C-alpha cells in the first residue's frame, strides 16, 4: 500500500500510542515508536506484534502480512530518531505545558515539511501550536481508545493550520481504516462536546431525587435504545477520566450552563469510587459484574379505579387506545369524577404544574411520558407528584404493567427522564452546528461511531420531532428557570417551522 505518509513517528507507548502505531503500520507506513521510557517501547512493540499474531491465527490477516507489519514497526531510542518522519503523532500526558515543551523540542529536529499532530482530547490545538515556528504544519488528530476498534478520528484545524494538512490527514485516516471527521478547534471538539448532555443531565435527575442510578439507566436503554445507561457508561470509562473532561469543557466555555458538571461525580472521584476498574462506582462489581437490585414488583391492586385522560395529553388518541387494550374503565367527561385516576402526558412540564393548570386533584394525578410512541419502547415511565396517593400510584403501575411491559415509577420531574435527556443531547448538538464547529453530517458520524448512540443526535431530534423537542426545552426551562435548557437558535428556528434538523441552508 502506498501510504500518504511513508514514515510516521508515534510518541507515547501507552494504549493510545500503541493503537495508533498499529494502524499506521497496517496502512503501509514505516512507524517509529518513541517513549521516554525505553522499556515501555519494547513492551509496546512486543504487544503490537502479539496482536498481529492473534489476527493471523484468526485468519483476519495472513502470516505474511503480520510479518510485514512487524518489519514496518521500529522502536526509537531517542527523539532525534524521528528526524526523517513525514508525520509525527503525539500521544503523551494531557497537559498543555508538557505538550508545548515537547513540540518546541521536536520541531527543530524534523524536516520543515513534516506534519506534527497532537492526539489531545480536550486541549486547544491553537494553544499547543502557539510557540511553534511553523504552526501551519500543526493540527489535532484525535483518536479514541481502543484505537483499532474505535473507527472515528477527529481532524482539528488550529487557527493557523493549512487546509491541505487537514485534507491529507483525513485521507490518511481512511488509509488506516478509520472514518475522519473535520472539527474546528473548540473545547471538546465534536465527540466530547456532543457527549455532554447524556451524563450531566442524568446526574441532575439523580441530584433532584427523581430516580436512582439503575432506574435511569433502564429507562434510557429501554425507551431510547442506548446500549449503556449513563451510569453504566461512567462506570466503564471511570470518573477519573470522565469528570475532569466535564470540568474542562465547562471551564473552557466560561461556565456555560449547558455543560455544568455535578457535585456527585466530584465527590465520588474524591472518594476513589470511580468505576468498574476499582470494583465500585455507581454500582458495585463482583468479578466484573455489576450488582444491581431487582426492579420493584408490580403492585397487586384488588379494585382498579376508573381512568380519565387529560384533553391536553401528548399522543392522546394513542394513550386512550392503549388504556382500552389494557382493559381500563375510561371516563369521557370534561373533568374526572371524584374516584378517577387522572392521567396527564405533558412535554417538559412536571405533573405538579399540569395538575394546577388543569385544576386536577393532585392526589389522584399521575403523569406518563408519551414523547415516544408506546409501540417503539420497551418500558413505560410514570411520574407521581408530591401529593399523589399511594393507592393511585399503585393502581397506575399495575394498570400499565398489565400486558407485561416494564414500568418505572419516578418522582415528579419536568420532562420525566427521557424527554429532558434527549432534549439536552439534541440541543447541544444543534448548538455545535450553530457554532459551525463541524458539518451536521460529520456530527452524526462522530457521535454514532465515537459514542455508540443508537442514532446521531440530529436524527434523534428528527425522529422524536424538532417541534416536540423544542417544546420540551421551553417548558423544562420554565419549570427549573435554568438557562442550561435554553434552545439553540439552530433548533429553535427549525423546530418552529417544522424543518429537519439536518437541513443546511443553501
- Rounded to an integer, what distance in angstroms lies between the CA atom of residue 289 and that of residue 299? 29
- Rounded to an integer, what distance in angstroms lies between the CA atom of residue 27 and that of residue 31? 10
> 345-381 b/e with 16+ CB inside 10 Å = b?
bbbbbbbbbbbeebebbbebbbbbbbbbebeebebbb
With helix as H, strand as E and coil as C, how does 296-350 read?
Answer: CCCCCCCCCCCEEECCCCCCHHHHHHHHHHCCCCEECCCCCCCCCEEEECCCCCC
The closest alpha carbon to 381, from 154, 259, 246, 219, belongs to 219
For the chain, give percent helix, strand, coil, nearest 5.
45, 15, 40
- Rounded to an integer, what distance in angstroms lies between the CA atom of residue 188 and that of residue 196? 9
Return the active site residues.
121, 142, 154, 192
Which cell goes with 145?
Answer: 481508545
Which cell goes with 350?
Answer: 412536571
- Rounded to an integer, what distance in angstroms lies between the CA atom of residue 388 and that of residue 421? 24
Question: In terms of residues, how long is the chain?
Answer: 506
Question: Which H or E run includes 87?
Answer: strand 87-90
Count other C-beta atoms under 10 Å from residue 25's C-beta.
25
- Rounded to an integer, what distance in angstroms lies between the CA atom of residue 389 and that of residue 283? 31
In the sheet that 365-368 helps form, which strands lie side by side, from edge to edge?
330-331, 307-309, 341-344, 365-368, 379-383, 406-410
Which cell goes with 32?
Answer: 517509529
Amino acid at each position: 500500500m502506498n501510504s500518504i505518509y511513508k514514515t510516521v513517528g508515534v510518541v507515547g507507548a501507552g494504549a493510545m500510542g500503541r493503537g495508533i502505531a498499529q494502524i499506521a503500520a497496517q496502512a503501509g507506513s514505516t512507524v517509529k515508536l518513541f517513549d521516554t521510557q525505553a522499556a515501555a517501547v519494547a513492551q509496546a512493540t512486543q504487544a503490537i506484534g502479539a496482536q498481529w499474531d492473534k489476527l493471523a491465527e484468526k485468519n483476519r490477516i495472513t502470516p505474511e502480512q503480520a510479518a510485514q507489519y512487524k518489519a514496518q514497526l521500529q522502536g526509537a531510542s531517542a527523539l532525534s530518531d524521528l528526524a526523517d518522519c513525514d508525520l509525527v503523532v503525539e500521544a503523551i500526558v494531557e497537559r498543555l505545558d508538557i505538550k508545548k515543551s515537547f513540540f518546541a523540542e521536536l520541531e527543530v529536529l524534523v524536516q520543515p515539511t513534516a506534519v506534527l499532530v497532537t492526539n489531545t482530547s480536550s486541549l486547544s490545538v491553537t494553544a499547543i501550536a502557539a510557540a511553534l515556528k511553523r504552526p501551519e504544519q500543526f493540527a489535532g488528530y484525535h483518536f479514541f481508545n481502543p484505537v483499532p476498534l474505535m473507527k472515528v478520528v477527529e481532524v482539528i484545524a488550529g487557527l493557523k493550520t493549512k487546509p491541505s494538512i487537514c485534507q491529507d490527514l483525513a485521507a490518511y485516516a481512511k488509509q488506516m481504516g478509520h472514518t475522519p471527521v473535520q472539527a474546528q478547534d473548540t473545547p471538546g471538539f465534536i465527540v466530547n462536546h456532543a457527549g455532554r448532555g447524556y451524563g450531566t443531565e442524568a446526574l441532575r435527575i439523580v441530584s433532584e431525587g427523581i430516580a436512582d442510578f439503575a432506574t435511569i439507566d433502564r429507562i434510557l436503554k429501554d425507551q431510547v435504545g442506548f446500549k449503556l445507561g449513563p451510569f453504566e457508561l461512567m462506570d466503564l470509562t471511570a470518573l477519573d477520566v470522565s469528570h475532569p473532561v466535564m470540568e474542562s469543557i465547562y471551564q473552557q466555555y466560561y461556565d456555560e450552563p449547558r455543560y455544568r458538571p455535578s457535585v456527585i461525580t466530584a465527590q465520588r472521584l474524591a472518594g476513589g469510587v470511580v468505576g468498574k476498574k476499582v470494583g465500585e462506582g455507581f454500582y458495585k462489581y463482583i468479578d466484573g459484574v455489576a450488582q444491581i437490585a431487582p426492579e420493584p414488583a408490580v403492585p397487586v391492586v384488588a379494585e382498579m379505579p376508573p381512568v380519565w385522560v387529560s384533553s391536553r395529553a401528548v399522543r392522546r388518541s394513542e394513550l386512550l387506545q392503549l388504556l382500552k387494550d389494557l382493559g381500563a374503565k375510561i371516563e369521557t367527561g370534561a373533568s374526572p369524577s371524584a374516584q378517577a385516576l387522572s392521567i396527564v402526558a405533558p412535554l417538559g412540564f412536571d405533573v405538579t404544574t399540569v395538575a394546577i393548570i388543569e385544576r386536577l386533584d393532585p392526589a389522584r394525578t399521575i403523569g406518563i411520558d408519551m414523547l415516544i410512541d408506546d409501540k417503539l419502547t420497551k418500558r413505560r415511565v410514570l411520574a407521581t407528584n408530591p401529593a399523589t396517593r399511594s393507592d393511585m400510584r399503585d393502581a397506575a403501575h399495575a394498570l400499565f404493567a398489565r400486558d407485561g411491559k416494564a414500568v418505572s415509577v419516578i418522582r415528579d420531574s419536568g420532562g420525566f427522564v427521557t424527554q429532558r435527556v434527549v432534549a439536552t443531547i439534541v440541543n447541544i448538538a444543534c448548538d455545535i452546528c450553530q457554532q459551525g464547529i463541524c458539518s451536521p453530517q460529520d456530527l452524526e458520524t462522530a457521535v454514532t461511531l465515537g459514542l455508540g448512540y443508537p442514532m446521531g443526535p440530529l436524527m434523534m431530534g428528527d425522529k422524536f420531532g424538532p417541534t416536540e423537542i423544542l417544546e420540551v426545552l421551553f417548558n423544562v426551562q420554565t419549570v427549573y428557570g435554568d438557562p442550561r435548557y435554553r434552545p439553540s437558535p439552530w433548533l429553535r428556528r427549525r423546530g418552529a417551522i417544522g424543518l429537519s434538523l439536518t437541513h443546511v441552508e443553501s
